[in-house]
Amino acid sequence: MSTKRHKIVRLTLSYLVILFMFAVILYPVAWVVGSSFNPGNSLSGSTIIPENPSLKHYAYLFDVTQSKYLFWYWNSLKISVLTMILTLIMVSLTAYSFSRYRFAGRKNGLMTFLVLQMIPNFAALIAIYVLALVTGLLDSHWGLILVYVGGQIPMNTYLMKGYLDTIPKELDESARMDGAGHLRIFFQIVMPLAKPIVAVVGLFSFIAPLTDFIIASVLLRSESNFTLAVGLYDMVAKQFGAEFTKFAAGSVLIAVPIAILFLSLQKYFVSGLTAGGTKG
Please give the pLDDT value at position 44: 62
Residues making up the chain, counted from first to last: 280
pLDDT of residue 169: 85
Give, for all 280 residues of the chain, the pLDDT tens digit.
567 777 888 888 888 999 999 888 888 888 888 888 887 766 665 667 777 788 888 888 888 888 899 999 999 999 999 999 999 999 999 999 888 888 888 888 888 877 877 777 677 888 889 999 999 999 999 999 999 998 888 889 988 998 888 888 888 888 888 888 888 888 888 888 888 889 989 999 999 999 899 999 999 988 889 999 999 888 877 765 567 788 888 888 888 899 899 888 887 766 555 554 444 4
Q: Could you tell me the residue ranges of all domains in the chain?
A: 2-56, 65-276
Contact 57, 232 (CB under 8 A): no
Could you please state the CATH topology (level 3) that the domain comprising 65-276 is classified under: MetI-like fold (1.10.3720)
